């Protein structure tokens, strides 16, 4: 197959593949009939000269005439060839087949978020019949519990936006892009597996793929079904308490059932994919002698704007007629204190959600569905914090998060506290401005956000808004709505591991976002696969 780059189509697009075939034929000076097996490799929207927008494609295809292909491969007088050989990055999972006769030989995977899910998938394909421990419920039952809580019910500390099948990413925007280098094609493999198990095929080529919380739930279920056919076993509402060890090596896991009873399971290999909110697990690991360190993270607030305002700023006039997706943004600035303030986890056409997991504490996150159909855009506006702010003790960062979440809970009297930007920066309480209706999953109330973050960090966030307003017109308008607190951007703890992926306790493999080695769905899934490969080497 062959590849050509920078094929441009001006929106709106009708009959996309037909338009691409015409463009490729025109560029190569061949007939459309000479082109076969045309497929999209990459697609991105170029809005640099708004309102004159264009989609830019890289496509792969075959040519019926080999001589024609060889001619086109030769460089022209400007030293450029019209096409090149298509050489996709193909990441091959290890072809290992292992027989595990007893339960003690089977690995235990703790957590069923993206890291645990993809780690367990690779182990299951190799025949290791992993046992997956998940403190929360299966995704359908979990969704019911979360919606009950959002509608005013009691928080379940084991099944919520943070815990349960699919992990915290299940109630998110479902972004599948990553900043992790992908020289081997591992990212492509993750996307391919998502598509194989129910995600739309366009995630394989769009510049910023996302699937939304509604589609992600189906993918999670489909992957579980496939793994169970391979011999994997899921144990929902089963909490990992601590590792059991002997002579510095894992020999089992202490678990707790829903009824509060505990038991020990034998195993020699345990993969920890617990997520960034498993604070009780961090404490238990420390007591078990597992070496960890504190790490920096970011805190702030969720901000909501009208999606139409973001679209207008990013696309220019006439965007409504072009069939464009809800626009996103990425903002960053440095304020007088020297700290960086930036947007995080931007959700076009999304909702602010109550992401709490502990009684008496409140945290928020952003979520959207596949269609990104909400009338508001939201993102976290956060400031980086490190040991110089929260302290140098191992759990000082975690305690810092807990204090802010307690303050947020008190500010809203158990509901999400919401305040418009004008009131927040002027330290007053005049109420809503016209124009933006809150798009929130969970009970909320208008309340002062002052005092949730330390004042120095509040000032950093306030100072950043005028800079962001120069980047996106109207971003610093006083009607913008803030909600607090965004405290769980990443884990406050890193569980140290060696070149073999193991912690200070041999046979214990820290993995994913909770262990401090990923940041988002895709990078966590990639880390899960790499960790599974390290586990497989010990069996081989």
Check which CATH number belongs to the domain holding 26 and give it. 3.30.70.2700
Q: With beta carbons less than 8 A apart as the criterion, state whether 524 and 512 touch.
A: yes
Whole-number pLDDT of residue 528 = 97
**363 and 381 share one domain:** yes
When pLDDT is cut at 50, 70 and 90, the band that residue 79 belongs to is low
Asked if the model's pLDDT at residue 147 lies above 80, the reply is yes
Whole-number pLDDT of residue 298 = 98
* Nearest Cα residue to 402 out of 357, 350, 367: 357
Asked if the model's pLDDT at residue 333 lies above 70, the reply is yes
Average pLDDT over residues 407-418: 98
Specify if 95 maps to a domain: no
**61 and 208 share one domain:** no
CA distance 137 to 132: 12
Specify if 231 maps to a domain: yes
**476 and 497 share one domain:** no
**256 and 317 share one domain:** no
Specify if 93 maps to a domain: no
Q: How many domains does the chain have?
A: 3
Whole-number pLDDT of residue 206 = 95
Specify if 87 maps to a domain: no
**137 and 229 share one domain:** yes
Specify if 190 maps to a domain: yes
CA distance 147 to 217: 14
311 Cβ partners below 8 Å, 6+ apart?
319, 324, 326, 327
When pLDDT is cut at 50, 70 and 90, the band that residue 78 belongs to is low
* Region of poorest pLDDT, from 175-189, 216-230, 459-473: 175-189
**245 and 355 share one domain:** no
Residue-wise pLDDT for 299-323, tens only, equals 999 999 999 999 999 999 989 889 9
Specify if 97 maps to a domain: no
When pLDDT is cut at 50, 70 and 90, the band that residue 183 belongs to is confident
Specify if 96 maps to a domain: no
Asked if the model's pLDDT at residue 356 lies above 70, the reply is yes
Average pLDDT over residues 441-466: 98
Q: With beta carbons less than 8 A apart as the criterion, state whether 394 and 294 touch.
A: yes
**170 and 310 share one domain:** no
**50 and 138 share one domain:** no
* Nearest Cα residue to 301 out of 266, 331, 258, 344: 344
49 Cβ partners below 8 Å, 6+ apart?
none
Range of the domain at 71: 2-82
Asked if the model's pLDDT at residue 508 lies above 90, the reply is yes
Asked if the model's pLDDT at residue 181 lies above 90, the reply is no
61 exposed, middle or buried (CB, 10 Å; 0-12, 13-18, 19+)? Answer: buried
* Nearest Cα residue to 150 out of 384, 468, 367: 367
Asked if the model's pLDDT at residue 489 lies above 80, the reply is yes
**279 and 381 share one domain:** no
**Mean residue pLDDT across the chain:** 94
When pLDDT is cut at 50, 70 and 90, the band that residue 326 belongs to is very high
CA distance 394 to 295: 9
Whole-number pLDDT of residue 346 = 97
Specify if 90 maps to a domain: no
When pLDDT is cut at 50, 70 and 90, the band that residue 437 belongs to is very high
Check which CATH number belongs to the domain holding 266 and give it. 3.50.50.60
Whole-number pLDDT of residue 365 = 98
Final residue before a domain boundary, out of 466, 486, 506: 486
* Region of poorest pLDDT, from 172-186, 245-259, 335-349: 172-186
When pLDDT is cut at 50, 70 and 90, the band that residue 218 belongs to is very high
**424 and 463 share one domain:** yes
Residue-wise pLDDT for 7-51, tens only, equals 999 999 989 999 999 999 999 989 999 999 999 999 999 999 989
**311 and 433 share one domain:** yes
Q: With beta carbons less than 8 A apart as the criterion, state whether 529 and 131 touch.
A: no
CA distance 336 to 427: 20
CA distance 74 to 273: 50
CA distance 102 to 226: 22
**Bigger pLDDT: 14 vs 375:** 375
Average pLDDT over residues 234-245: 97
Instruction: Specify the pTM.
Output: 0.94
Average pLDDT over residues 83-98: 86
Asked if the model's pLDDT at residue 99 lies above 60, the reply is yes
CA distance 111 to 163: 9
Structure tokens that stand for 453 in this block: 């973050």
Whole-number pLDDT of residue 255 = 97
Final residue before a domain boundary, out of 464, 486, 508: 486
CA distance 268 to 395: 28
**275 and 361 share one domain:** no
Asked if the model's pLDDT at residue 80 lies above 70, the reply is no
Q: H/E element holding 279?
A: helix 279-287
Whole-number pLDDT of residue 539 = 84
Asked if the model's pLDDT at residue 72 lies above 90, the reply is no
Whole-number pLDDT of residue 321 = 83
């Amino acid at each position: 197959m062959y590849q050509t780059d920078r094929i441009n189509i001006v929106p709106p697009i009708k009959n996309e593949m037909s338009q691409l075939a015409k463009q490729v034929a025109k560029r190569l000076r061949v007939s459309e009939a000479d082109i076969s097996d045309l497929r999209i490799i990459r697609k991105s929207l170029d809005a640099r000269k708004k309102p004159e927008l264009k989609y830019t494609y890289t496509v792969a295809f075959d040519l019926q005439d080999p001589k024609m292909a060889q001619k086109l491969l030769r460089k022209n007088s400007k030293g450029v060839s019209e096409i090149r050989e298509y050489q996709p990055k193909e990441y091959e999972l290890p072809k290992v087949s292992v027989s595990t006769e007893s339960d003690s030989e089977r690995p235990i995977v703790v957590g069923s978020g993206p890291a645990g899910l993809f780690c367990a998938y690779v182990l299951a394909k190799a025949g290791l019949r992993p046992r997956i421990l998940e403190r929360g419920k299966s995704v359908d039952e979990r969704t019911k519990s979360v919606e009950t809580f959002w509608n005013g019910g009691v928080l379940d500390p084991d099944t919520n936006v943070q815990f349960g099948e699919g992990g915290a990413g299940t109630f998110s925007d479902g972004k599948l892009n990553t900043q992790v280098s992908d020289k081997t094609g591992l990212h492509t493999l993750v996307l391919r597996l998502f598509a194989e198990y129910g995600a739309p095929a366009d995630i394989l080529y769009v510049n910023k793929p996302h699937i939304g919380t509604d589609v992600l739930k189906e993918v999670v279920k489909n992957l579980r079904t496939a793994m169970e056919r391979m011999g994997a076993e899921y144990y929902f509402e089963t909490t990992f308490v601590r590792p059991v060890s002997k002579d510095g090596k894992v020999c089992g896991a202490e678990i707790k059932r829903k009824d509060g009873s505990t038991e020990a399971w034998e195993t020699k290999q345990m993969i920890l994919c617990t997520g960034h909110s498993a604070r009780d697990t961090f404490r238990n690991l420390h007591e078990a002698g597992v070496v960890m360190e504190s790490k920096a993270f970011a805190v702030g607030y969720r901000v909501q704007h009208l999606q139409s305002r973001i679209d207008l700023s990013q696309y220019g006039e006439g965007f409504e007629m072009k069939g464009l997706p809800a626009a996103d943004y990425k903002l960053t600035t440095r304020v007088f204190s020297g700290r960086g303030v930036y947007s995080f986890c931007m959700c076009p056409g999304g909702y602010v959600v109550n992401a709490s997991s502990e009684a008496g504490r409140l945290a928020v996150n952003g979520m959207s569905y596949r269609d990104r159909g909400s009338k508001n855009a939201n993102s976290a506006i956060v400031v980086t914090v490190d040991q110089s702010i929260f302290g140098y003790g191992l759990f000082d960062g975690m305690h810092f998060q807990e204090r802010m979440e307690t303050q947020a809970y008190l500010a809203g009297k158990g509901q999400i506290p919401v305040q418009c930007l004008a009131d927040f920066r002027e330290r007053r309480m005049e109420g809503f401005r016209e124009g933006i209706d809150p798009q929130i999953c969970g009970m909320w109330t208008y309340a002062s956000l002052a005092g949730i973050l330390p004042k120095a960090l509040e000032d950093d966030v306030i100072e950043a808004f005028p800079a962001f307003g120069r980047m996106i017109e109207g971003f610093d308008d006083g009607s913008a709505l803030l909600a607090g607190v965004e405290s769980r951007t990443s884990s406050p703890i890193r569980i140290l591991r060696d070149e073999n992926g193991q912690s200070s306790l041999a046979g214990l493999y820290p993995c994913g976002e909770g262990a401090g080695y990923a940041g988002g769905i895709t990078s966590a899934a990639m880390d899960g696969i790499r960790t599974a490969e390290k586990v497989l080497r010990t069996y081989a």
